[in-house]
Structure 1
């Protein structure tokens, strides 16, 4: 790993083990992009810029420069708008005189070992300075003294580069930051497909692949969160790229609020990628001497298809984004009472479920919504974080202690960012919610959003949540967030800063999460937002796993979990077995399928075990016993997708340990097909020369045979069938 700067040609060359990223300072200080892709050992300019005079592409400095030179045709690193480039800019500012024209030029750069933290924002990190190198380039607009520092970090052990930008107002006047993208990158080609992860509540992160076309294609959220509807991930891939072959250029924003990612194909078939905070309804007042830090984008290159891209993200996020005591620990098997009882429970019922679950091998009981205030429905009490003595008369500490004495951990649900209009907290502080004066306060799930842009609100919530966690033996917290942002404004901000509210809210959420997770390092935190509405890298920095979706139907979960795996590690996915008929889609699926899908993540259960039949109890106990044997392979192994639910009736994947000595193979068939053809599937990720014993088949095969000749799959005569096989080197 190294970052090289060639003084004669003013070329930067960022090299990792398998990747090169190259750009150059041209003319009077513009930064122009040359290459990102498979590693080049030594770059000597084989793909130099070609300059040609183009009609309607003006020259920015006609007195001194060649007429063939225009920013409209130059592949750039961080472009502006208005001084000869008509494409999407990376940034835009407005000065006190109302103008928006800037001209950033290179001034200096520094190269340092390691990776600095980002102020007040989640980001990837290093544990030793020799794991990465960071290049910081300072650009300055001489007329206004606006300074922008572009940061590039390249990792040694990952084919990943992170980029971010920091704006510093070194002028004498205030300015407004209108658009602060974290990165921009120009490709001198457009023969790509665009892959994104759109969805909806209970239908998150479905894979969509489309031709790149002229004009702008984008993904974004204006909802105050990263959202169910879009995910801050996108990838440009070659036309023939699949799981194992072809080039991938992927982008993932480490941020949990409003975002925008776009690809613009221009008149000359160049493609410009831009990603960062959404400029919609955003501006930031930057006074003289103040600075603004953007979130980082994690950029991953793969020359070996989508599978290699995913494994890079999985390794990086699991080891250098997630933090805390649970980062490298196996995750406990849990049972959650939500779909078992909803709000209708008492102390005896909770203990009954926990005791029965413990007898089956469950390790953690989670008490979900309804334990606090006067919470018998979703119509009140959010913000009143004190125990409901009518439901739990002995107290939360006594109940948790009783469950702990079963040799079982105890977990609790919170929704700290929300407030109910029918709550003591709202009656005491009606201005503590996100709102606009004299405007209607829209409600979602009968609730409003607390204004985490306010210091007093953040401190009060830290106090209330900490009080519960300090006084009770709690080992797990599910942190939920169940509505999106409307009437976005803050009573604590002046008029000129109202459009800062959404980002300041997100900074407040991060601050509260940092304080609480640091204060209680023994607690495993799982983030949630109506399920997977905030499944993004920003959340994983504070909470190493996420409730993948409120939809627990095994068939729907195939697409949700498959799509999520494009960028996010398996150990970050909460996945539960629930009752049938399923509560979201009313589908009846087998216990095997429900178990095998839920075991393809962090296994949990979301049902009333006291009502199961003897056969169901035996099946559940067998699943738990099996999962305990294989969970380290699933949670820490390398993941290979084999069959996609988006293109097939069947879905398959395999987990392989890093030393390739063990593997877990899963195959799910949704609907039975009459007189179906015989099936075989080629495995992946195994070692060709190793011989593997398949316990369930009582047979042994070499890795090359399983990967090249394939494995026969038994014909299914019923809907919703599945196979789980364990492989071990002999």
Structure 2
């Protein structure tokens, strides 16, 4: 709900309030964003207003008529340059006369019943009310429009800005943020999620004390280096209690989040397009639209904030026919074959996939041009007749006849110099003519600033997707930007390349997703190098990381969950030794981690033992039963020491939990599993799946029970291992939801003092998946 009380505006969600007012100087003052307040009149807002009699010493007063106001010491909705506010600005413009001073003052406001669309960028849908405030810098005839959209039931508020040049002279826009939050204190912890290829989403917590802290990307994409999702929280906020702000950006390019503490202890947060190497030239009548920023407040801890983010993304960011549809279980060919694919190998793997219950087979890189390595053929999207002698459609038909849907890998934004496309159009790449170029993965980036390139890619991808019954597309993007220059743009617009590229990308994606609404598109950019809300507006799931190691993935997936729902996080069970870490983890742990989200496999099923295939068959069958909850249930992070996760169905009748141990601590036998999100008074059945373990896992401890000595890895050892299995512990408990949420004391872990069916084999990288089902009455 949005209401105006004289000079004040109140934006309300189910549990939060956002309040601003017009200052006597006509700037916008930020008064409050936090727990929902009861506001019925202007009088109720008065206590939130800072009282100023005299401006602080050594500051500049705004004007002689208002000596009490120095903008340096005010909480503002828009920070500018040149009128006394020396903090990180919201907007920065260079005018025709060379000045960078701006003074945006209130002109008018209106409440819209439908949102004002963005012309060049994706945005959230399904809102009900929008506050539109118009500010004007009369000295330079420039207009700044602020748009606030309220999503009541999600506890979300979005914000963006549009700058319009009405002056006859051109202006140069060097910065336009999407949101600004000014706080009266700086008692916060800033949480960012940073990393690199195969090491995405490392959580970092910074106690905000002084100065300027920046989380930003300058790779041309939202990047694995610094995800655009950040959090501001109190020092004692936990998963289940305390205040937290979740903040994100619907944008896939260079982003910028900054926190600055002023000399007076106030804190400013801004988020938007990274101003580094950014500049837009606006002629008279032209405008610039900032991406939409997303804000969520909770006073009930990280889990509550995350759950609001998750529902908002599922309902208002993801769209199209796959929005709330359960995603298929796939087998991807990459780690089984890399570039060495052919029709015979692919069909053999597809047949093995069908036997274990997989639903979709995906042919990854290597199928087109002369693609035997990563040095050629990007841009030439025709099948390789040596690898697919009967053509792509023939292969797809054969896969369909086996009983599987078919998916394909593409990287449309890229080109190799060794390709027919580059030889035909060398001026279609991001490159400085006549200069040496720095490449990544032997490839260059196609210039999506150029509409001709966007049109070409729309046509060539459409032709590919129409050529066979393709149900899934993995859309990859495998390098960062260098030699940032568009041959399409004039020299005075070269600082527009980064943003214009993203606009071109969104145009391309919009063309294709509308033309092929039933294809399931999965985003990928060297794993999580473009995991953001902008891509999720077109692609309902994203490959979380090229690292498929279960231990690494547990951390990566957990940290994604702070800002993104399980329904958009794509995970694969891969082989062991793991191809990225050479670590060995149990097959059930690889599955237990991957099943929290969108399950897939990236493994050569044709090479696996019957025992492993039997286990995978059981995994897939169990996942299908609980798929809706795993993908769309309410997710809880419980314990930060052990990975204790819980996901609960919307009706709270079905839940699954995981406990994952990284390294064994000797003589630590006792563990708890703690559930969340259950009905306190309902009765539930808590249980795990019975397992049996290969006796070889216990090493020469077998000789403590064997009547004869058995040498390790001997023939006798092999024979014993074939026929003797060690029973795993069974948990089988009937109790109430309140008890399960207090914690279940599990059967003791092995700790050198004996083993039987009441002892939990729980070694390095071991995990357990627990099932919780509501019962009609206590048993």
Q: When the two structures are superposed, what TM-score results if normalisation uses the length of structure 1?
A: 0.97
Counterpart in the other structure of 2:725: none
Alignment of 1:299-318 (within 5 A): 299-318=295-314
Counterpart in the other structure of 1:371: 367
Counterpart in the other structure of 1:725: 770
Distance 1:44 1:590 in 2: 59
Deviation of 1:681 after TM superposition, in Å, equals 3.2
Counterpart in the other structure of 1:530: 526
Q: Which runs of 5+ in 2 are unaligned?
A: 689-730, 750-760
User: What's the CA shift string for 1:262-294, capped at 9, x where partnerless?
Assistant: 000011111000110011001001100011100
Counterpart in the other structure of 1:53: 55
Counterpart in the other structure of 2:91: 91
User: What's the CA shift string for 1:219-253, capped at 9, x where partnerless?
Assistant: 00111001111000111100110100100012101
Deviation of 1:441 after TM superposition, in Å, equals 1.1
Q: 1:687 aligns with which of 665, 673, 679?
A: 679
672-681 or 452-461: which moved more? 672-681
User: What's the CA shift string for 1:416-452, capped at 9, x where partnerless?
Assistant: 0000010000011111100112221111000000000
Alignment of 1:173-572 (within 5 A): 173-572=169-568
User: What's the CA shift string for 1:604-626, capped at 9, x where partnerless?
Assistant: 00011000011111111011011
Counterpart in the other structure of 1:700: 734
User: What's the CA shift string for 1:673-708, capped at 9, x where partnerless?
Assistant: 221141113321111011111243332110011112
Counterpart in the other structure of 1:6: 5
688-697 or 328-337: which moved more? 688-697
Q: 2:660 aligns with which of 638, 662, 668?
A: 668
CA contact (8 A) 2:670 2:745 kept: no
Deviation of 1:20 after TM superposition, in Å, equals 0.4
Counterpart in the other structure of 1:659: 651
Deviation of 1:314 after TM superposition, in Å, equals 0.4
Aligned residues: 717
Distance 1:377 1:578 in 2: 22
Deviation of 1:477 after TM superposition, in Å, equals 0.2
Deviation of 1:132 after TM superposition, in Å, equals 2.3
- Compared CA separation, residues 465 and 70, structure 1 to 2 (3 A): same
Q: Which runs of 5+ in 1 are unaligned?
A: none
SS of 1:162's equivalent? strand
CA contact (8 A) 2:214 2:256 kept: yes
Deviation of 1:200 after TM superposition, in Å, equals 0.8
Aligned-pair RMSD on alpha carbons? 1.0
Distance 2:664 2:774 in 1: 33
Distance 1:717 1:329 in 2: 36
SS of 1:157's equivalent? helix
CA contact (8 A) 2:332 2:361 kept: yes
SS of 1:207's equivalent? strand
Q: 1:143 aligns with which of 139, 150, 153?
A: 139
Deviation of 1:46 after TM superposition, in Å, equals 1.7
User: What's the CA shift string for 1:61-107, capped at 9, x where partnerless?
Assistant: 12x22x22111111000110111111111010011111111110000
Distance 1:236 1:393 in 2: 56
SS of 1:405's equivalent? helix
Counterpart in the other structure of 1:22: 19
CA contact (8 A) 1:527 1:546 kept: yes
CA contact (8 A) 2:659 2:673 kept: no
User: What's the CA shift string for 1:17-50, capped at 9, x where partnerless?
Assistant: 1110001001131100110011112133222212
CA contact (8 A) 1:680 1:713 kept: no
CA contact (8 A) 1:199 1:205 kept: yes
SS of 2:200's equivalent? coil
Runs of 4+ in 1 over 3 A off after TM superposition: none
